[in-house]
């Protein structure tokens, strides 16, 4: 890790630099979000091709409707065709399909960026609403429940175990963790399959999937217990798939910091190890820990498509997968835009916190020279 | 060469690296064997083949090695046919245009469980009148069960297990149970010994002929078992290896090398090139990779090559650019670059001959660790039903298993065999990559 000289300057210019830096970063990040969301809109619409599918399905729907209507049986084919065309035109206008895609894509972009998420085309929320906002909100709770439980557990357990290990470098436990780190090459859903096989299929002690028993228990306590039982396997899958690698990374990270001269100095002074940990290892590494924690929090939002599919968990990941399968563009764009905003805001806040906290980060300077 | 030897000697000091190398060598060996023994076109034909290709396989049969467990003695499939062994067929001329064909299929049945199904495939060649065939079943204890008479068309399939009349005559038991059950036992237990199926046919023309095939479907099949479409899972397990390795390798090479080249170019040219690359990277970090791949898969094409292209495209502008950029910024100021510039090396020459080689050691471990990520990515797409529609891969076996409720129904082998192969691939590369990381980045080794 390279050490950059600490710059000293008058506080006023520093503040001005931070202000300018903040502004530049803010604009850059917003631009990034705009481009990212626009690209998503293009992909999700297949560059306009989805419109043709929509037109065809509108045409088919209207044609079937007209053919099935006994009152219209008398019409001649030409008249019937005119009627169909008329109805199709009304429907297309209602969906805005009469305008070219290039124009509409920017309207989609504006709506997405102003968080006017609009209405879904196929999907509905459990209460029957077509509002993308409501659909997403409904799925947010299960996703947050699952991923917050798993990620918080993962984060705190790994940081504390790593801190513990960094003091016992080379012990059996330490070597075991290092040896187990490669197991994280497999994603969480993969461990999920194994866990289902063992605990649901073979031993029959835990449910195969879902979030709550069917039918859901009436009593609140029973309901909570049932949800808890359904949480065990997916949470275990997420934790197992990442824990060893995460501990390994944090351990190496802490080891690098604990070999610094000032830590040796503290040891030589005879400070207790808990004080060394707190004051000399945790404090300088805090920015990194905070960053990692913040980024962990954003990933909660996306959920995990395959894990939720495997465990039949009614979360955002599975919603996104279904939305893609049905080419329900508003839902896709809605979940991507929220993710992009969250990511951008987090990065922005982190940038500022860094600029203020860490003197080694040079604010506003041109490309750093080492 | 010497550097390679030195590298290998260093690797040998890490047991996990050795284990990883052994696993990778095994997978590469498996791939070479597969490619050499079964051309891809044959693999695809077998995998896409419907019942026609796999007519003689049982459905959802376990692998054969389960019989090695104590107390397990599941039946294997018995196939007897007159086209394969014409000696089983006896033809007798009764009069000028009347022939009698007698076919006796005798087989030993030493198993503890009933077969899955029993089918007879008849094939008649005739000019005017259809051959008339009567079938009967002989059990080891000498009973004879008549299975009825029927005229035979060009190709006739008689599935005994679906014959409701036969089931009634056997006392309500499913034919594959009733025909094999010990009549003395209370619970249905198969009677061991030699069974035979007698096929007697009357032919009404000089050139008329009759061929028959008996298939007693077992409950075990091959080394890997069979799936719901009677396919031998081994085909996909074998072909999954080269496909997974190729996809993982190409995707990892493609994304790491392009990332590095882009970072180097950005650093060398600086100014707006660097700025543009940084901005594109930031946009790319916002794009969710898996949803984009799923969109490409559902909306455009499921071809593995398209996926590979998109994966490389999205991977090229990954967060790695920032790491490489920091390294290249250091390299750029080194004296040897100045020397190169002094002798008049071109920009591209400096990028490719002076800057990139400096950073390769950092790249190698990352690259090795990335391979399993992409192997699992391919499996992930397949599990979501977005695997290449043609290719037999491990992920597609998992998808089939999952969508057919393999875990609910207890077909564990169906899930386990592809999972174990995926896990081995992941572990092999990850173990090697971690060891390489410690060798190439000595700072970690001291720790």
Question: Residues B194-226: pLDDT tens digits?
Answer: 999 999 888 888 888 888 899 999 888 888 888
- Confidence (pLDDT) at A5: 43
Task: Please tell me which residue, A358 or A275, carries the higher pLDDT value.
Answer: A275
CA of B393 to nearest chain A CA: how many angstroms apart?
A: 16
- Tens digit of pLDDT for each residue in A245-287? 888 888 888 887 777 788 888 888 888 877 887 777 777 777 7
- Confidence (pLDDT) at A148: 86
The SS3 assignment for B107 reads strand
CA of B16 to nearest chain A CA: how many angstroms apart?
A: 7
- Asked whether residue A366 carries a pLDDT value surpassing 50, the answer given is no
Q: What distances in angstroms separate CA A40 from CA A52, A335, B35, one per listed residue?
A: 18, 11, 39
CA of B264 to nearest chain A CA: how many angstroms apart?
A: 14
Average pLDDT over residues A100-123: 81
Average pLDDT over residues B68-73: 86
Q: Where are the alpha helices (DSSP H) in A45-131?
A: 49-68, 77-95, 101-113
Nearest CB to A32; choose among B282, B296, B431: B282
- Tens digit of pLDDT for each residue in B371-380? 998 999 989 8
Average pLDDT over residues B10-30: 89
- Asked whether residue A308 carries a pLDDT value surpassing 60, the answer given is yes
Confirm or reject contact between B274 and chain A (CB < 8 A).
yes
Which of the residues A37, A186, A306, A331 would you substitute to probe the B interface, choosing the one with the greatest number of B C-beta atoms within 10 Å?
Answer: A186
- Asked whether residue A330 carries a pLDDT value surpassing 60, the answer given is yes
Residues in chain B within 8 Å Cβ distance of A254: none
Residue positions counted in chain A: 370
- Confidence (pLDDT) at A301: 64
What is the DSSP code (8-state) at residue B181?
Answer: B
Which of the residues A26, A185, A310 would you substitute to probe the B interface, choosing the one with the greatest number of B C-beta atoms within 10 Å?
Answer: A185
Q: What region, left, alpha or beta, does residue B71 occupy, with left being phi > 0 and alpha being psi -120 to 50 degrees?
A: left
Q: What distances in angstroms separate CA A327 from CA A243, B50, B62, B192, one per listed residue?
A: 35, 31, 39, 58
Residue positions counted in chain B: 447
Task: Please tell me which residue, B421 or A167, carries the higher pLDDT value.
Answer: B421
A202 with B398: Cβ contact below 8 A: no
Confirm or reject contact between B286 and chain A (CB < 8 A).
yes
Residue A272, C-beta contacts closer than 8 angstroms, at least 6 positions apart: none
Confirm or reject contact between B22 and chain A (CB < 8 A).
no
Confirm or reject contact between B431 and chain A (CB < 8 A).
yes
Per-residue pLDDT band at B22 (split at 50, 70, 90): very high
Task: Please tell me which residue, B383 or A70, carries the higher pLDDT value.
Answer: B383
Residue A28 burial (10 A CB sphere; 0-12, 13-18, 19+)? middle
Residues in chain B within 8 Å Cβ distance of A343: 285-286
Give the chain A residue nearest B403 (alpha carbons).
Answer: A310
Residues in chain A within 8 Å Cβ distance of B438: none
- Asked whether residue B175 carries a pLDDT value surpassing 70, the answer given is yes
The upper half-sphere exposure of residue A262, i.e. CA atoms within 13 Å in the direction of its Cβ, equals 8
- Confidence (pLDDT) at A365: 46
> What dihedral do alpha carbons A269, A270, A275, A278 form, nearest 10°?
50
Chain A residues 92-121 within an 8 A CB cutoff of chain B: none
Tell me what ipTM this predicted complex has: 0.81
Which of the residues A193, A315, A318, A335 would you substitute to probe the B interface, choosing the one with the greatest number of B C-beta atoms within 10 Å?
Answer: A193
Average pLDDT, chain B: 85
- Confidence (pLDDT) at A302: 62
CA of B427 to nearest chain A CA: how many angstroms apart?
A: 6
Average pLDDT over residues B47-53: 75
B329 with A369: Cβ contact below 8 A: yes
- Asked whether residue B368 carries a pLDDT value surpassing 80, the answer given is yes
Nearest CB to B291; choose among A181, A320, A327: A320
Chain B residues 296-355 within an 8 A CB cutoff of chain A: 296, 298-300, 329-330, 333
Residues in chain B within 8 Å Cβ distance of A368: 329
């Amino acid at each position: 890790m390279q050490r950059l000289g600490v710059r000293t300057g008058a506080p006023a210019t520093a503040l001005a630099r931070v202000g300018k830096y903040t502004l530049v970063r803010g604009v850059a990040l917003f631009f990034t979000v705009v481009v990212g969301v626009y690209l998503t809109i293009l992909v999700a619409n297949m560059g306009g091709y989805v419109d043709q599918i929509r037109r065809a399905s509108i045409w088919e729907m209207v044609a079937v409707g007209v053919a099935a209507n006994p009152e219209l049986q008398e019409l001649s084919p030409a008249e019937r065709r005119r009627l169909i065309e008329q109805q199709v035109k009304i429907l297309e206008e209602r969906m805005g399909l009469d305008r070219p895609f290039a124009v509409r894509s920017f309207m989609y972009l504006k709506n997405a960026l102003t968080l006017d998420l609009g209405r879904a085309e196929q999907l509905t929320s459990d209460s029957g609403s077509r509002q993308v906002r409501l659909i997403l909100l409904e799925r947010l709770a299960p996703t947050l429940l699952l991923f917050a439980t798993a990620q918080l557990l993962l984060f705190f357990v790994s940081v504390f175990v790593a801190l513990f290990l960094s003091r016992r470098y080379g012990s059996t436990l330490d070597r075991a963790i290092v040896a187990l780190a490669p197991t994280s090459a497999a994603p969480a859903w993969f461990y999920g399959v194994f866990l289902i096989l063992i605990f649901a299929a073979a031993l029959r002690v835990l449910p195969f999937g879902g979030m709550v028993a069917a039918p859901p228990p009436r009593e609140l306590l029973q309901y909570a217990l049932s949800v808890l039982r359904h949480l065990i396997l997916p949470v275990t899958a997420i934790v197992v798939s990442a824990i060893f690698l995460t501990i390994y990374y944090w351990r190496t990270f802490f080891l690098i910091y604990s070999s610094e001269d000032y830590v040796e100095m503290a040891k030589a002074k005879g400070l207790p190890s808990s004080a060394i940990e707190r004051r000399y290892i945790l404090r300088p590494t805090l920015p990194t820990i905070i960053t990692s924690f913040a980024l962990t929090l954003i990933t909660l939002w996306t959920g995990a498509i395959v894990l939720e599919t495997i465990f039949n968990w009614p979360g955002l990941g599975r919603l996104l997968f279904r939305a893609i399968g049905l080419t329900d563009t508003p839902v896709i764009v809605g979940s991507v835009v929220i993710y992009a905003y969250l990511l951008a805001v987090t990065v922005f806040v982190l940038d500022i916190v860094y600029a203020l906290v860490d003197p080694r980060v040079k604010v506003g300077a041109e490309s750093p020279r080492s | 060469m010497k550097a390679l030897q030195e590298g290998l000697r260093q690797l040998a000091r890490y047991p996990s690296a050795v284990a990883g190398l052994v696993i990778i060598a095994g997978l590469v060996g498996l791939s070479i064997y597969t490619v050499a023994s079964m051309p891809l076109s044959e693999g695809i034909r077998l995998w896409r083949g419907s019942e026609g290709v796999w007519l003689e396989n049982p459905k959802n049969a376990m692998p054969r090695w389960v019989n090695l467990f104590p107390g397990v003695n599941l039946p294997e499939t018995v196939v007897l046919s007159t086209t394969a062994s014409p000696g089983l067929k006896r033809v007798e001329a009764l009069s000028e245009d009347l022939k009698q064909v007698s076919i006796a299929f005798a087989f030993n049945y030493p198993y503890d469980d009933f077969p899955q199904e029993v089918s007879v495939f008849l094939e008649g060649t005739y000019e005017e009148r259809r051959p008339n065939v009567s079938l009967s079943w002989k059990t080891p204890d000498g009973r004879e069960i008549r299975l009825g008479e029927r005229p035979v068309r060009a190709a006739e399939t008689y599935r005994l297990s679906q014959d409701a009349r036969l089931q009634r005559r056997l006392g309500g038991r499913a034919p594959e149970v009733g025909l094999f059950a010990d009549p003395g036992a209370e619970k249905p237990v198969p009677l061991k010994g030699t069974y035979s199926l007698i096929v007697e046919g009357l032919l009404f023309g000089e050139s008329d002929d009759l061929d028959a095939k008996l298939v007693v479907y077992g409950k075990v099949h091959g080394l890997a078992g069979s799936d719901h479409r009677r396919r031998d899972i081994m085909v996909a397990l074998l072909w999954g290896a080269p496909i997974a390795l190729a996809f993982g390798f190409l995707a990892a090479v493609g994304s790491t090398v392009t990332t590095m080249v882009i970072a180097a170019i950005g650093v060398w040219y600086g100014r707006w090139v660097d700025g543009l690359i940084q901005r594109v990277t930031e946009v790319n970090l916002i794009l969710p990779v898996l949803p984009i791949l799923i969109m490409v898969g559902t909306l455009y094409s499921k071809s593995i090559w398209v996926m590979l292209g998109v994966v490389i495209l999205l991977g090229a502008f990954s967060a790695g650019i920032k790491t490489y950029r920091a390294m290249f910024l250091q390299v750029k100021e080194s004296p040897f670059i100045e020397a190169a510039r002094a002798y008049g090396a071109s920009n591209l020459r400096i990028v490719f001959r002076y800057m990139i080689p400096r950073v390769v050691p950092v790249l190698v471990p990352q690259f090795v660790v990335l391979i399993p990520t992409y192997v699992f990515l391919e499996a992930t797409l397949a599990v979501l039903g977005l695997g290449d529609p043609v290719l037999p891969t491990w992920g597609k076996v998992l998808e089939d298993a999952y969508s057919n409720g393999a875990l609910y129904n207890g077909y564990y082998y169906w899930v386990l065999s592809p999972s174990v192969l995926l896990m081995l691939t992941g572990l092999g590369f990850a173990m090697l990559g971690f060891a390489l990381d410690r060798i190439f980045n000595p700072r970690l080794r001291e720790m």
